[in-house]
Structure 1
Amino acid sequence: MQLRIFTEPQQGATYDDLLAVAKATEELGFDAFFRSDHYLTMGGDGLPGPSDAWTTLAGLARETSRIRLGTLVSSATFRLPGVLAIQVAQVDQMSGGRVELGLGSGWFEAEHTAYGIPFPAKRFGLLEEQLEIITGLWRTPVGETFSFTGQHYQLNDAPALPKPVQASIPVIIGGQGPKRTPALAARFASEFNLGFAEFDQVAPKLDRVRAACTEAGRDPDSLTYSAAHVLCVGANEAEFTRRAAAIGREGAELREHGIAGTVAEATDRLAGLRESGVERVYLQVMDLHDLDHLDLVAREIAPHVG
């Protein structure tokens, strides 16, 4: 099982904060550093403010050398698909081919209102067309052009440049919808991510995605299945309690919904996810200044779930 570090910078983080976490992620042997793509805090004052996801990842691409880098997830409402395809391809070049794109329809209306970003009531069609355009641009051979006519976007003879380093940038699609999201993942994704689902619902929700792949004529095993959960672990009960308080969460609630508690409890929870079909877990780190937290997981948990 791969363990990835997942951050929420809209809660307030500088680039240097994120760089410190990314470097620790790399040095401690985790597989990847991911970040959310949001522009407004979801609690608290958010100081010193949000940061742009792809600007951040461009910087980290030059300051790391091994870890994968990506978003969980970028919003289809934030950028035009042609622009996003260029941004992601360029960051892939800057990283030497280590980028992954998580893309979703967007859900947080308040951040759109705050920053003057249109927030249409129906967004699934935007997402579907963006996936067609972005993957189509990347696949177009050098010297050929890409055109697209849809309900939301039209592209005429795009040169489809620049090209990413990777032959195929991994695309992550996630969500808990029963039909449309699994079908979209079967068409476009290399990875399906189940974010913050109840643990007893993980296996049946992943089974829906597998069924959608079969229905689409795709081998279900060609998709990577992942989950995202909050991380809060202590070497002992006192340390766990301190870390829970630092992120404003109750211990019992964290144990119920997260990778949380003592080292043994967290290891057992990850083992349960693996039994449910999860191959990769994004550990949502809320206290970006507690790098000892990552060290504990790397030393005491990762060796037992790899």
Structure 2
Amino acid sequence: MQLRIFTEPQMGASYDDLLAVAQATERLGFDAFFRSDHYLTMGGDGLPGPTDAWTSLAGLARETSRIKLGTLVSSVTYRYPGILAIQVAQVDQMSGGRAELGLGTGWFKAEHEAYGIPFPEKRFDLLEEQLAIVTGLWSTPVGETYSFDGTHYQLTDSPALPKPVQSPLPVIVGGNGPSRTPKLAARFAAEYNQAFPELANIARQFGRVRAACEAVGREPDSLVYSAALVIATGSTEAKFGRRAAAIGREPAELREHGISGTAAEVIDRIGWLREQGVERLYLQVLDLTDLEHLDFIASEIAPHLDAALPAAHASGTAHIVAAPLQ
């Protein structure tokens, strides 16, 4: 089971905060550091204000050396697809081939209103065209040009540069829709992600994606199947309760909807998620000042997963392996 750290900087984080978490993520042996792509807090004052996702990931690309870096997920409303392709390819170059792109329709209308970003009512067709364009630009051979004539975007004789280091650069399609999302994942994605799903629906939704792959002649196991869920844990019930309070959540609610409780409970929940088909977990860490939380996960939870769970998906990424901290 691959474990990735997933952050929500719009809730209040500076670049230095993100750097501290990303470097701890790398030091402790986690697979990746991911962040949301939002410009407005969903509660509280959000100080010191938002950070741009791909700007901050570019910085982290130069200040880390091993972990994957990406978004879960960038919104199609924020950037033209040609510009997005350039930004992500550049971060991939700056990191030596460690960038991954999660792309989605966007949903938070208020942040668009706050920063003057258009928010069309229908966005799924935008997502389909953007996925086609960014993957098309990256896969066009050097020396050839790329054109696209869509309803929303038109590109004419693009040099399709720069190229990412990775070929193909991993694209993540997420969402819990029953029809169109699985079809897009089957066409364009290296990974399909369910973000904060109803736990009882996880296996069913993965089944829809597998069926969509089969319908287009794609091997279903060529996708990585992942989920993003909040985590809060501790060595005692009291420590878990303090971490729940620090993020404004109730322990019972976290246990019901997330990966939470004592270490034994978290290990059991991750084992159950594996049985539902989850191969990769994005652990949503909401208190970015609590680096001891990451230490605890790495030392008291991750080693047990290596012993209990099978080899990671054949993507070339090793398990998290962390020795107990002294």
TM-score, length-scaled by structure 2: 0.93
Question: Alpha-carbon deviations, 1:135-172, whole Å to 9, x = none?
Answer: 00000000000000000000000000001111110000
1:129 Cα offset (Å) = 0.3
The answer for unaligned runs of 5 or more in structure 1 is: none
Q: What is the match of residue 181 of structure 2?
A: 181
2:277 aligned counterpart, secondary structure: coil
TM-score, L = length of structure 1: 0.99
Question: For residue 209 of structure 1, what is the aligned residue in structure 2?
Answer: 209
Deviation at 1:304, TM superposition (A): 1.5
1:95-110 matches, within 5 Å, as: 95-110=95-110
Query: Per-residue deviation at 1:244?
Result: 0.4
The residue aligned with 2:311 is none
Query: How far apart are residue 217 of structure 1 and its match?
Result: 0.8
Displaced runs of 4+ in structure 1, greater than 2 A?
none
Per-residue CA deviations over 1:100-121 (Å, capped at 9, x if unaligned) read: 0000011100000110000000
Letter in 1 for 2:268: D
* Aligned mates of 1:58, 1:117 — CA distance in 2: 23
Deviation at 1:199, TM superposition (A): 1.4
Tell me what 1:147 maps to. Answer: 147
Equivalent position of 1:85 in the other structure:
85
Aligned length: 306
Deviation at 1:62, TM superposition (A): 0.1
Letter in 2 for 1:182: P
C-alpha separation in 1, matches of 2:203 and 2:56: 34
Give the deviation of 1:198 after TM superposition: 1.6
Structure 1 counterpart of 2:30, which letter?
A: F
1:256 is displaced (CA, Å) by: 0.3
1:64-90 per-residue CA deviation (whole Å, 9 max, x = no partner) reads 000000000000000000000000000
The aligned counterpart of 1:133 is 133
1:35 counterpart residue number: 35
Mapped to 1, the partners of 2:206 and 2:305 lie a distance apart of 20
Q: Corresponding residue for 2:322?
A: none
Shift of 1:231: 0.7
Could you tell me how far 1:209 is from its partner in structure 2? 0.6
Which residue number in structure 1 is paired with residue 323 of structure 2?
A: none
* SS of the residue 1:144 aligns to: coil
Counterpart of 2:7 in structure 1: which amino acid?
T
Alignment of 1:1-306 (within 5 A): 1-306=1-306
Question: How far off its partner does 1:213 sit?
Answer: 0.6
Identity of aligned residues (%): 75
In 2, Cα distance between equivalents of 1:224 and 1:305: 18
Q: Please state how far the C-alpha of 1:215 moved relative to its aligned partner.
A: 0.8
Aligned amino acid, residue 218 of structure 2? R
Q: Which runs of 5+ in 2 are unaligned?
A: 307-326
Query: Secondary structure at 1:301's aligned position in 2?
Result: helix
How far off its partner does 1:132 sit? 0.5
CA distance in 1, matches of 2:239, 2:198: 25
Distance in 2 (alpha carbons) for counterparts of 1:46 and 1:133: 33
Q: Secondary structure at the match of 1:25?
A: helix
AA of the residue aligned to 1:85: A
Deviation readout 1:2-39 (Å, 9 max, x if unpaired): 00000000001000000000000000000000000000
* CA distance, structure 2, for counterparts of residue 60 and residue 175 of structure 1: 26
Tell me the amino acid that sits aligned with residue 33 of structure 2.
F
Separation in structure 1 between the aligned mates of residue 32 and residue 217 of structure 2, nearest angstrom: 30
